[in-house]
Structure 1
């Protein structure tokens, strides 16, 4: 990879696995539904540490479909 370019996948996300990412997204969406600001903050901090683009897109889809419904 050329200097100055970034990998599209967060380095810490490599060990996350799709099921663990989905579980984190589930917990975050449930916290948003419940209006639990403290839990939302905790989950967002964790997500920022490990999320890759697929996980972020999954979260976006879930928030659009589940919370708005």
Structure 2
């Protein structure tokens, strides 16, 4: 729950200065098990202000159609 709170708090801060997350995913979270600390990294893809889909349907990552892999 503390990790989730750290993520929410970070995004509340980001929103308060006018930015939104464009590419935040599990790879953006590092957890230090020894010290019980959550770190957020790879935050270079946030945008200032509103964001619109400029890519169409060609997003990064795996392509999935109707719950299965695209052919």
TM-score with structure 2 length normalisation?
0.32
Name whichever structure is richer in helix by fraction.
1
Q: Which structure has the larger Rg?
A: 2
Which has the higher relative contact order, 1 or 2, with Cα contacts under 8 A spaced 6 or more apart? 1
TM-score with structure 1 length normalisation?
0.33
